[in-house]
Structure 1
């Protein structure tokens, strides 16, 4: 996953840049070195997703689970609390959690009081998140922060890299405005405006962009409660696997049928027209070879056709430790998800943490497309009661 690229110079923390845009400037600091992950072979990293699909998602082994009705994070958490004798009362849109008349926590929009305000503030800012992870010596991609008018400086940074880069807003909407695999100045210039448009606005919003070394590998999300990983999923991007006889269009229809019985995935099945297929280097009437894996989306989010696959029991202890350290690096975060890119599940070599999500959804962990669902809501309920008892 991690390419064998030297780390870029670290982005500095500019007090003006921390709360807003640095117009026409790049917030660099050569005095603060980036942490670089150990690099496995590039070939292993770049083909990790294809190998995972071939090993796990072909034939009956890749059958998508049937989920007859959608659920919400709130429903899952309230049910787990109810099983433990905790009742809820609504106060101004927030659920107050009561056990024997004692307040043990709160719940709103699927987020419990295990997530503090400071953790949410840091989690909303990719640059602050990266800096907090460095404090804990968590491996992160090397990168720099740039002001919205600093495209030329970003192009200069890209030219220094011996490999591709990722561009994303420092503070953006989840999954929006992110472009991976940037290798040329033209690609970076084309990605710049979508990244700017995806920034969150508002008083004190950070309007900068982050350009960092791209790491190939498995898109791994580990949900941590306390200091323990309670669920881990690989998010697999939209793809098709050739059988030697079916056309690309027929294989895509099979993918749609595959998701139809899963109430969360079915409405999030993208339609790819001929133009989109051509952009991926495919023709609708082409017949891929048997066993040929083709990736059709740059990201693995559910709305982009991604499949959550449970890998909790396969996660190496050292990878789980990296995830737990990442969540633990965020002040006031008692539970949340660490997003990693890893070449393999049985080793942390070359793995990096690309984000920490304090408000990550529980649904892909409880109701994965493939594999065993994990009771993350129950782990949250237990932790709320443990904290209330102290």
Structure 2
């Protein structure tokens, strides 16, 4: 046994464990492939007291939760965690295991977790553990921390048992019913994704155009008209009777006198029940006289929503529920009303208590059986059988406690699926077809289901929409029936798809343009593309939301849209860190590059840290999927090690280079590649698969590359072509898509949009980091050189995000001064907790340092904080032949202002409105949030 050393403690043992922050990962994340809860906990003084240094801690904890003895922990064997407790482990690790154990005891099979120290913060730990239901997982972590503190030092007034009862009550409130859970379990076994759409049982199965919905056992295929008919019991019996099916005589009544009169006409005994009832509520059976009908009237009316009752003839026999799915019999159960059997020793009350002690019985639908409830009706029924509640029942004597056999009233079920006579099965199936229900519960009353009902007597009493599955999946006696299978077969016939292809795109720069290029290519194939990006959510070329939508909630919104049959999802670093991915896996992952941006934020302090975050989408690629990786980037190239699928490389390097040799070797092993090959007419994009090479297009013929000058868009085109090729797009469609994709504001808003203002060329681009600005400066030089004429002056309007490191903000100024003659510095609207003018001053400092060092091209630096004013200054100072680059924060309003300057305005109106009436793309109100504001909780449901 290895016992860890105890560090010198600064004080006595105190219950100081606390939760600092809580995150919920709803998909693959930096910690786990599966959804997980992430707690950052602070141990306080307990950092100096591992478990073996706290007298009796391990024994007290295991006594409270014996199930911890089964945890293997890192030892890989049962009991490993208890060994760690005695050897010494820190209490954050204990909280992780306890959170898992609490969920296991609540019926959630979760086992994976890990605890790691927070870098640079002594006493703080990352506690990560799996969950099945979000609110339950969070509550488990909170309760685990409190219990750990309680075991360290008992908390006054804290009752562990009461806290556990409260926790279990939460679990039951959030749990799916047995019917819904059975369908979800079957869907999971077939790899069909599912999403809970509300706090109850509304669930989406599948994605996009393939999605189906269920609410308990009601499905997307269930006819609303059929449900209405089934809810009208009188109409149901009329329709079945008119088709020649056996049904009891019945009459609809609204008054007590009407009920008595109907009973006389039908003939005693009769049944009185609500016309629109369910679960056997308000049903009164075997009424033999006017007085009994009168009393039943009050009971039934109390459960009626519309104040209408049905009186029908009482059919004697056993109660059978026939489950019909898609027109075919799936299961039959005999329902036995709640009862107790005497033993000659216990009273009726005591027998009920013993029966309810069965661990299979719970409240409502929480368990496979429901506890028997003793009410006035039950006591009256017992009295009718000649017993008092405190009377001892003779051995073997059965005492009924309810007349209806519903499971919800404490009844039991006996599986009779294999016993039913074919004639009876045919009658039940015909009844479901006549009503029109895809999933129907047919209530059959007859002496024996094994004998034709037409010979023995009996009838169909009800046809139920959304029938419960519990009596079939968990019969009290007999074999369980796997009835969720035909339901899922109904929604997803064997061989039919349930998922839409998902392409996830990430990287530091170029991911938005790459996403747009790919979406444009797939649109040309006739796909209904759902796309998320830092500019919004686009469904089939319609912009739905103009905000940063590169997070997991946006991804879920796309995958829930019934029009989408192909998803292109831009995935940002912030969304991965905050909630993980919004789905379980992506078919294709595209990583454009890893460059210096967002460093120093949320624990990301190096390019390696950033790469570890962004490679989550590569880890989420299945074995039959693809990862499109930039071979020119060392950090992206390393991601091949975590990819289970096929790799498609793309590279800007020339043939013969080290990178190209690497790619050639990998292609021989089965990888694919998209590379550039020099030709007499220019660079040719070439697709490589094995030893085959296929020419795609010349780069200078792609409008987005500006005759090949925009090298960043050449790289983006390579990535998009690789993803489209992996998605199965034909070469001519990829070629056509790239040839027709432009950087116009309509196809690529805020990305290298060109406009002429008074004979000066203006480029508007969302450039927000040094790496992007370096590429933008190189583009301007190539673009000017390619025109074979000199540009008089090159101006730039530039800013930086306030949440970046000071050195990164200064570098923006240095690069702006290096590539441009005149620098105008602006600030973002969102200062990100910096003082007004602070960010601009840092940019100006960097620019001035470059000028002072003699390495700059710029001759002057000017600060105009407001973006529109800075734009106006740049345009006013430009002359014919000048080139202006505007690195925009809110590109929509900048383009609107530039449109004002390029068209004559009518008096009293904006020129952009006159030139583009009603065009939202040029509306001054169409303001995009910056990519760091990528939380759209107020617009999207918290799923």
Say yes or no: TM over 0.5: yes
Verify the 8 A CA contact 2:266 2:312 in the aligned structure 1: no
CA distance in 2, matches of 1:237, 1:260: 16
The residue aligned with 2:415 is 310
Verify the 8 A CA contact 1:123 1:129 in the aligned structure 2: yes
The residue aligned with 1:255 is 355
The residue aligned with 1:336 is 440
Unaligned runs of 5+ residues in structure 1 are 1-67, 202-206
Structure 1 residue 233 and structure 2 residue 333: aligned?
yes
Verify the 8 A CA contact 1:71 1:363 in the aligned structure 2: no
CA distance in 2, matches of 1:192, 1:371: 37
Written as runs of structure 1 = structure 2, the 5 A alignment for 1:31-180 is 69=107, 72=177, 73-89=179-195, 94-98=202-206, 102-103=209-210, 105-146=212-253, 148-149=254-255, 151-180=256-285
| CA displacement at 1:322 relative to structure 2 | 1.7
Structure 1 residue 270 and structure 2 residue 373: aligned?
yes
The DSSP-based 3-state class of the residue aligned with 2:187 is helix
CA offsets 1:295-316 (integer angstroms, 9 cap, x no match): 2212222232211221112222
Query: Which region of structure 1 is more displaced relative to structure 2, 288-297 or 187-196?
Result: 288-297
CA distance in 1, matches of 2:189, 2:347: 49
TM-score by length of 1: 0.72
CA distance in 2, matches of 1:164, 1:185: 10
Structure with bigger gyration radius: 2
| CA displacement at 1:327 relative to structure 2 | 1.0
| CA displacement at 1:237 relative to structure 2 | 0.9
The DSSP-based 3-state class of the residue aligned with 2:387 is coil
TM-score by length of 2: 0.31
Q: 1:80/1:156 Cα in 2 relative to 1: closer, same or farther (>3 Å)?
A: same
CA distance in 1, matches of 2:182, 2:475: 14
CA distance in 2, matches of 1:144, 1:79: 42
CA distance in 2, matches of 1:246, 1:92: 46
The residue aligned with 2:172 is none
Unaligned runs of 5+ residues in structure 2 are 1-105, 108-174, 497-943
Verify the 8 A CA contact 2:369 2:407 in the aligned structure 1: no
Query: Which region of structure 1 is more displaced relative to structure 2, 312-321 or 244-253?
Result: 244-253
Written as runs of structure 1 = structure 2, the 5 A alignment for 1:143-222 is 143-146=250-253, 148-149=254-255, 151-201=256-306, 207-222=307-322
CA distance in 2, matches of 1:386, 1:343: 37
Q: 1:297/1:280 Cα in 2 relative to 1: closer, same or farther (>3 Å)?
A: farther
> In structure 1, which of residues 378, 381, 386 is the aligned counterpart of residue 485 of structure 2?
378
Structure 1 residue 294 and structure 2 residue 402: aligned?
no
Q: 1:359/1:245 Cα in 2 relative to 1: closer, same or farther (>3 Å)?
A: same
The DSSP-based 3-state class of the residue aligned with 1:199 is coil
Q: 1:114/1:280 Cα in 2 relative to 1: closer, same or farther (>3 Å)?
A: farther
CA distance in 1, matches of 2:196, 2:394: 57
The DSSP-based 3-state class of the residue aligned with 1:294 is strand
CA distance in 2, matches of 1:95, 1:272: 35
Query: Which region of structure 1 is more displaced relative to structure 2, 169-178 or 135-144?
Result: 169-178
CA offsets 1:293-348 (integer angstroms, 9 cap, x no match): 232212222232211221112222222122111111112x1121111111112112
CA distance in 2, matches of 1:92, 1:251: 40
CA offsets 1:60-104 (integer angstroms, 9 cap, x no match): xxxxxxxx95862222212212222322346678533327x6415
CA distance in 2, matches of 1:199, 1:248: 31
CA distance in 2, matches of 1:103, 1:161: 50
| CA displacement at 1:250 relative to structure 2 | 4.0
Query: Which region of structure 1 is more displaced relative to structure 2, 169-178 or 225-234?
Result: 169-178
| CA displacement at 1:172 relative to structure 2 | 2.8
How many residues end up aligned between the 2 structures? 315
Q: 1:184/1:384 Cα in 2 relative to 1: closer, same or farther (>3 Å)?
A: same
| CA displacement at 1:224 relative to structure 2 | 0.8
Verify the 8 A CA contact 1:142 1:213 in the aligned structure 2: yes
Structure having greater relative contact order (Cα 8 Å, sep ≥ 6)? 1
| CA displacement at 1:266 relative to structure 2 | 5.7
The DSSP-based 3-state class of the residue aligned with 1:144 is strand
The DSSP-based 3-state class of the residue aligned with 2:404 is coil
CA distance in 2, matches of 1:213, 1:85: 48
CA distance in 1, matches of 2:415, 2:341: 20
Q: 1:89/1:237 Cα in 2 relative to 1: closer, same or farther (>3 Å)?
A: closer
CA distance in 2, matches of 1:339, 1:157: 23
Verify the 8 A CA contact 2:352 2:372 in the aligned structure 1: no
The DSSP-based 3-state class of the residue aligned with 1:172 is coil
The residue aligned with 1:28 is none
CA distance in 2, matches of 1:301, 1:350: 22
Verify the 8 A CA contact 1:225 1:379 in the aligned structure 2: yes
Q: 1:187/1:77 Cα in 2 relative to 1: closer, same or farther (>3 Å)?
A: same
Q: 1:248/1:192 Cα in 2 relative to 1: closer, same or farther (>3 Å)?
A: closer
Cα RMSD after superposing both structures: 3.0
Q: 1:90/1:272 Cα in 2 relative to 1: closer, same or farther (>3 Å)?
A: closer
| CA displacement at 1:214 relative to structure 2 | 0.6
Query: Which region of structure 1 is more displaced relative to structure 2, 132-141 or 88-97?
Result: 88-97
The residue aligned with 1:359 is 466
CA distance in 2, matches of 1:388, 1:368: 31
Q: 1:71/1:364 Cα in 2 relative to 1: closer, same or farther (>3 Å)?
A: farther
| CA displacement at 1:119 relative to structure 2 | 1.2
Verify the 8 A CA contact 2:286 2:314 in the aligned structure 1: yes
Verify the 8 A CA contact 2:338 2:402 in the aligned structure 1: yes
| CA displacement at 1:245 relative to structure 2 | 4.7
